[in-house]
């Protein structure tokens, strides 16, 4: 709890409590001015439009090249001063904190590489000094959870979200203007796996025998919408990519935000109050402060223990919401969390879902039961972000199962004795 109170104070001082005018004034020293960084035209502008793709007969766009065998490293894609790179030096990211221990980060999501949220976070993390490789699905893959679906053809057969990956493009590609921006035509877990086993190995100059590919952290999101409680933890593709990474021994943090669904071409990178820019600044500062704290006494320390991940949720922030002075709360997944119950739509007569707060979902059997549930933290109207630790060790805690263990042990013994008895009878029958 002490750590999260320190985190709250540090993050609040960087963004939430400073007025817009002050943040704009602080941006005057940025090397790249806001006037030279238009949000809709640059080296990272859309690679094609849907109409252009159709007009060219679905041919592969000249600014997308395949990344099947890309051996480009971070050193060959980044300049000596990241602030001179498009987006990274934008005035909107003036409140991003610099990292004391820059990380090798794989950035992914389930909304696709065309999402405004993931592009903004890419720029913010690089502004912080981290080395970032963005590899996200070509198409919207929301709600895919932990499913693994690979490409079934060498080329894209239906255009990606927003038309930014045209029909005919390779199943895995990169933007030649910024080769750290990449897509993969698969589910979020498949995309995260592709990033670790193909792109990141070369990008971070890792050994082919290093199954973590030299990655210090996988960041997933920020998702376009919150993912609250264990039910959505299971369903979310954003969190699916995160817990897959944890299972691959790579620390991971998933971010989910109450934001609009936007294409990255709508970003106003010169405005620190742009919704996606603001969420990206919060998220980058969270990553930087948490990782710096974890490495304070040992620069080679892991950010999170093996088998442990973090999931962060944001309320609706100003200017599109009422939250303007965000604070942070150490929370847990359970506690007022919802699951679906299925009902009939009175108008259509078709099945749909309704929210149900069930005891089975919210009974606290592991972790710190005194922590508030993340659902309540986000919905209580107090302008708070939740940060919940989770484990991929799904074994039931012994203190919650002690009464049943005796019955289970006895039942297994009886089942095994029946098997032994049946086997003995068959042997005797054969001998006779």
Residue 66 confidence class, pLDDT cut points 50, 70, 90: confident
pLDDT at position 188:
97
Whether pLDDT at 22 is above 50: no
Q: Please report whether residue 89 resides in a domain.
A: yes
pLDDT at position 85:
72
Q: Which residues contact 117 (CB under 8 A, 6 or more apart)?
A: 109, 111, 221, 222, 223, 224, 257, 259, 262, 276, 279, 280
Would you say how long the chain is, in residues?
432
Q: Please report whether residue 90 resides in a domain.
A: yes
Structural domain boundaries enclosing 371: 64-391
Q: Please report whether residue 37 resides in a domain.
A: no
Q: Please report whether residue 14 resides in a domain.
A: no
3-state helix, strand, coil in the chain (%, to 5): 35, 20, 45
Map tokens 């099945």 to a residue: 351
Q: What is the pLDDT of residues 285-319, one digit of tens each?
A: 999 999 999 999 999 999 999 999 999 999 999 98
Contact 372, 327 (CB under 8 A): no
Q: How far apart are CA 422 and CA 430, in angstroms?
A: 12
Pick from 18-22, 178-182, 203-207, 372-376: least confident? 18-22
pLDDT at position 232:
94
Q: Please report whether residue 430 resides in a domain.
A: no
Whether pLDDT at 32 is above 50: no
Q: How far apart are CA 64 and CA 244, in angstroms?
A: 28
Average pLDDT over residues 165-190: 93
Q: Please report whether residue 265 resides in a domain.
A: yes
pTM: 0.83
Nearest by Cα to 192 from 148, 223, 233: 148
Angle between helices 275-294 and 2-11 (to 10 degrees): 140
Nearest by Cα to 15 from 288, 231, 423, 204: 288
Higher pLDDT, 70 or 277: 277
Whether pLDDT at 58 is above 70: no
* Residue 398 burial (10 A CB sphere; 0-12, 13-18, 19+): exposed
Q: Please report whether residue 166 resides in a domain.
A: yes
What are the CB-based long-range contacts (under 8 Å, 24+) for 418-423? none
CA distances from 50 to 65, 68, 168, 356 (A): 18, 24, 12, 41
pLDDT at position 428:
58
Q: What is the pLDDT of residues 413-427, one digit of tens each?
A: 999 987 766 666 665
Which H/E stretch holds residue 426?
Answer: helix 398-431
pLDDT at position 30:
26
Q: Which two tokens stand for residue 196?
A: 């670790």
Q: Please report whether residue 79 resides in a domain.
A: yes
Residues noted as catalytic: 256
CATH number for the domain spanning 72: value is 3.40.1210.10
Which H/E stretch holds residue 321?
Answer: none
Helical ranges in 18-134 per DSSP H: 20-26, 50-55, 74-77, 116-127
Average pLDDT over residues 215-244: 96
Count the domains in the chain: 1
pLDDT at position 40:
32
């Amino acid at each position: 709890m002490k750590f999260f109170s320190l985190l709250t104070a540090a993050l609040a001082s960087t963004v939430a409590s400073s007025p817009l005018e002050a943040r704009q004034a602080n941006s005057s020293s940025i090397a790249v001015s806001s006037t030279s960084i238009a949000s809709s035209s640059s080296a990272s502008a859309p690679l094609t439009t849907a109409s252009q793709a159709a007009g060219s007969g679905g041919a592969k766009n000249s600014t997308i090249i395949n990344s099947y065998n890309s051996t480009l490293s971070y050193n060959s894609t980044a300049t000596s001063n990241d602030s001179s790179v498009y987006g990274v030096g934008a005035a909107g990211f003036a409140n991003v904190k610099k990292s004391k221990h820059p990380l090798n980060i794989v950035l992914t999501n389930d909304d696709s590489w065309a999402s405004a949220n993931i592009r903004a976070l890419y720029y913010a993390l690089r502004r912080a000094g981290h080395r970032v490789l963005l590899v996200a699905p070509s198409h919207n893959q929301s709600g895919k959870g932990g499913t693994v679906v690979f490409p079934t053809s060498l080329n894209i057969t239906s255009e990606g979200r927003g038309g930014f990956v045209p029909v005919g493009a390779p199943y895995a590609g990169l933007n030649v203007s910024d080769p750290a921006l990449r897509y993969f035509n698969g589910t979020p877990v498949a995309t995260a796996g592709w990033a670790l086993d193909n792109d990141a190995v070369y990008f971070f100059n890792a050994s082919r025998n290093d199954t973590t590919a030299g990655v210090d952290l996988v960041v997933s999101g920020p998702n376009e919408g919150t993912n609250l409680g264990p039910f959505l933890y299971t369903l979310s593709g954003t969190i699916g990519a995160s817990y897959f990474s944890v299972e691959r021994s790579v620390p991971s943090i998933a971010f989910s935000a109450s934001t609009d669904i936007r294409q990255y071409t709508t970003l106003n990178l010169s405005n620190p109050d742009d919704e996606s820019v603001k969420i990206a600044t919060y998220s980058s500062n969270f990553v930087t402060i948490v990782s710096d704290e974890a490495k304070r006494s040992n620069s080679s320390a892991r950010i999170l223990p093996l088998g442990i991940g973090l999931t962060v949720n944001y309320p609706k922030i100003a200017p599109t919401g009422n939250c303007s002075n965000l604070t942070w709360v150490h929370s847990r997944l359970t506690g007022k969390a919802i699951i679906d119950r299925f009902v009939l739509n009175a108008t259509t007569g078709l099945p749909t879902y309704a929210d149900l707060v069930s005891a089975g979902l919210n009974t606290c059997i592991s972790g710190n039961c005194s922590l508030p549930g993340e659902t309540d933290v986000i919905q209580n109207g107090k302008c708070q972000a939740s940060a919940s630790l989770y484990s991929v060790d799904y074994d039931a805690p012994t203190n919650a199962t002690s009464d049943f263990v005796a019955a289970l042990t006895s039942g297994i013994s009886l089942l095994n004795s029946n098997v032994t008895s049946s086997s003995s009878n068959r042997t005797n029958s054969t001998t006779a």
